[in-house]
Homo-oligomer: A and B are copies of this chain.
Amino acid sequence: MIRDATATKARILEAATTEFAAHGLAGARVDRLATRAGANKERIYAYYGSKEGLFDAAIESNIEQLLDAVPFTAEDLPGYAEALFSFNLAHPEFTRLALWHMLERPGVMARLPQTAASTVRKIEAVGRAQRAGLVDDSLPPDQMVELVLAVVHSGLILPPGGDPDDIAARQKALRTAIQRLAAPSN
């Protein structure tokens, strides 16, 4: 029975990712995603409490997948940026999900447990890399982390079906930009 519940939750979160990425929180329909997940609405509300709770859980689940797939390497920020860019390109629904979440649950993402903990770890790692002389220290570590993420995401607000040459150019610019931002000056 526990294994059943785990499988059901995984299907619900997958269907929720698709539904919220397409329509956002206000536009999402729980009955539509329930049908897609092969679960019933009552069970979804029993697990997640509300449509908002399910939206937050879908973001957390996607962030967990990202954290597993793309380890943060403070000593190689250009490499991290490229890996994150590639992950996001392969999961376009994740970028949309995150943008909707910023608009419809403003300020909530930073407080989600996974996100908050992983941000703290990233900031600590950049601080250590700065003290070791591996990363420039003219920016405080929290701002450096935020900038790296912002620069990665700047390349992702692409029209659907961005052409491969354009993507390759962005990936190259990304590496150059992060090197300029993060390489120690001395």
Chain A residues near B (Cβ < 8 Å): 23-24, 26-27, 96, 99-100, 102-103, 106-107, 110, 136, 138-140, 143, 146-147, 149-151, 153-155, 157-160, 169-170, 173, 176-177, 180-181
Contact = CB atoms under 8 A, between A and B. Distances in A.
Q: How many copies are assembled?
A: 2
A151 to B, nearest CB: 6
A181 to B, nearest CB: 5
Contacts of A143: 169-170, 173, 177
Contacts of A173: 139-140, 143, 147
- Output the residue of A100, A140, A154 with the most chain B CB within 10 A: A154
Contacts of A147: 151, 154, 173, 177
Given A26-B27, A150-B151, 20 more contacts: A24-B24, A96-B103, A99-B102, A99-B103, A106-B159, A110-B159, A138-B176, A138-B180, A139-B173, A140-B169, A143-B169, A143-B170, A143-B177, A146-B155, A147-B177, A151-B151, A151-B154, A153-B154, A180-B181, A181-B181
